[in-house]
């Protein structure tokens, strides 16, 4: 029985993906702990710290399939942590008491943190692939609609003309920065942990560092400069990165949601029969992916706060803050996989409507290019005077239902200042795109 959206039989594929859920499932979590225990035995056998026979037996026994999940759960309820029950289960699966050498010199958090690092590594592989896919789709969208002119909007009002390719390029630039951040942060986050009870490796004497270094190589994790039992910046950075990604996806979803509004109608999520329908209004085509991205994104960013707060650990082992990570990290990653999957579905099949964009661009009768007219008149009238004259013309156009060009031609202050052909050119939105297209072209070339 589920009480969470991320593993609900009904809603889970809205808010996550099977690949990411498997990493943070009970099997994924306990399997990562088993992998650490097995690797620890392997390197300790190699270094001669435990009998090779024991190392081989432990490595063979440290498998999820050898665990009794009910027994692990019952004993964890008593102990408070799953590692002691896990160690007992591995030892029980070894012949001739060879399992007594399991967990040699380790502490619970060594196993759980190294297991988490393995999970983060696998999870970031998924996130990276999804971001790469999204970037590719956005780049195609930007190229295809380089010249699709539309109204740029500020404060929900028509501002100046832009192109949809330019808009997609802005989205893409943010996604590219996240891809760069991910490459940079992974070495700081995918840290293994093996330091013993208080972080000093005391139980292994002079062999502790050798075991720790060999274990990191065996697991394919980064060797930490110092123990991070209570230095949780890596975990916090990982989840805050997800918060940043969710913020960008929420911005994209907000734009598309507004573009889908009936009054706007400039872009739509992919059409699937029945998707976004209403139980009572047959005409509805609701922005389902946008809604899911926006809803889940808020929760991801709340988890960013949780892991930041969990950094306030006491002394050499946290009393409570660490446990907050157990909740926040899996949920943040599963939700992030979900919003990226929704974004990829939406962008890959986005239905852009250039004709509707042009129609909306013209709905104010040229008022959207009032700045162009002002700048065109400024050499003759002065910038401030030109501003006031064009402002008056805009008011006239609104009050009398005229186009901007018609209002300008009625203005005595403007008469004779510019040829009619030049005035008409200034009033065409297509002629006032600034360097939006050149900016996009340069960006696309630089990212190749």
Catalytic residues, by residue number, are 155, 278
162: which DSSP letter? E
CA angle 138, 445, 340 (to 5 degrees): 20
Residue the block writes with tokens 């039992």: 229
CA angle 401, 372, 252 (to 5 degrees): 90
Q: Which H or E run contains 213?
A: helix 208-219
Q: Where are the alpha helices (DSSP H) in 349-419?
A: 354-361, 370-381, 383-400, 404-410
C-alpha span between 122 and 3 (Å, rounded): 26
Residue the block writes with tokens 């002629």: 431
Q: Where are the alpha helices (DSSP H) in 47-153?
A: 52-61, 69-79, 83-92, 108-144
Rg (Cα) of the chain, in Å, rounded? 30
Question: Which sign does the torsion angle of CA 98, 100, 105, 107 carry?
Answer: positive
Phi-psi region of 205 (alpha: psi -120 to 50; beta: other; left: phi over 0): left
- Length of the chain equals 448
Within 8 A by CB and 6+ apart from 61, the residues are 90, 91, 93, 94, 99
């Amino acid at each position: 029985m589920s009480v969470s959206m991320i593993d609900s039989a009904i809603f889970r594929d809205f808010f996550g993906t099977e690949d990411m859920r498997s990493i943070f499932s009970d099997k994924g979590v306990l399997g990562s702990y088993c992998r650490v225990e097995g690797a620890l035995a392997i390197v300790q056998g190699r270094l001669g710290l435990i009998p090779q026979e024991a190392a081989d037996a432990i490595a063979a026994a440290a498998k999820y399939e050898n665990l009794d999940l009910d027994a692990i759960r019952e004993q964890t309820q008593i102990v408070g942590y799953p590692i002691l029950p896990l160690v007992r289960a591995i030892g029980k699966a070894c012949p001739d008491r060879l399992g007594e050498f399991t967990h040699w010199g380790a502490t619970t958090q060594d196993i759980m943190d190294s297991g988490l690092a393995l999970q983060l590594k696998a999870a970031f592989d998924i996130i990276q692939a999804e971001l790469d896919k999204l970037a590719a789709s956005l780049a195609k969208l930007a190229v295809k609609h380089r010249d699709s002119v539309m109204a740029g909007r500020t404060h929900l009002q028509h501002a100046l003309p832009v192109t949809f390719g330019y808009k997609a390029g802005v989205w893409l630039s943010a996604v590219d920065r996240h891809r760069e951040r991910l490459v940079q942060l992974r070495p700081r986050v995918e840290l293994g942990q093996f330091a013993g009870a208080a972080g000093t490796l005391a139980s292994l004497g002079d062999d502790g560092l050798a075991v720790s270094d060999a274990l990191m190589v065996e697991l394919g994790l980064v060797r930490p400069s110092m123990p991070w039992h209570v230095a949780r910046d890596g975990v916090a950075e990982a989840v805050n990165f997800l918060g940043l990604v969710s913020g960008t996806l929420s911005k994209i979803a907000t734009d598309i949601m507004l573009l889908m509004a009936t009054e706007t109608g400039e872009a739509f999520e992919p059409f699937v029969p029945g998707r976004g329908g209403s139980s009572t209004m047959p005409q509805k085509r609701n922005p389902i992916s946008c809604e899911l991205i926006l809803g889940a994104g808020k929760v991801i960013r709340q988890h960013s706060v949780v892991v930041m707060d969990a950094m306030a650990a006491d002394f050499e082992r946290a009393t409570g803050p660490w446990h907050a990570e157990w909740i926040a990290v899996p949920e943040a990653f599963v939700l992030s996989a979900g919003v990226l999957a929704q974004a990829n579905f939406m962008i890959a099949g986005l239905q852009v409507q250039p004709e509707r964009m042009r129609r909306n661009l013209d709905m104010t009768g040229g008022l959207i290019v009032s700045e162009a007219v002002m700048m065109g008149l400024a050499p003759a009238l002065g910038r401030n005077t030109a501003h006031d004259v064009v402002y008056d013309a805009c008011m006239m156009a609104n009050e009398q239902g005229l186009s901007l060009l018609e209002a300008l031609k009625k203005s005595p202050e403007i008469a004779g200042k510019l040829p009619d052909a030049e005035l008409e050119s200034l009033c065409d939105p297509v002629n006032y795109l600034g360097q939006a297209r050149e900016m996009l072209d340069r960006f696309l070339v630089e990212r190749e």
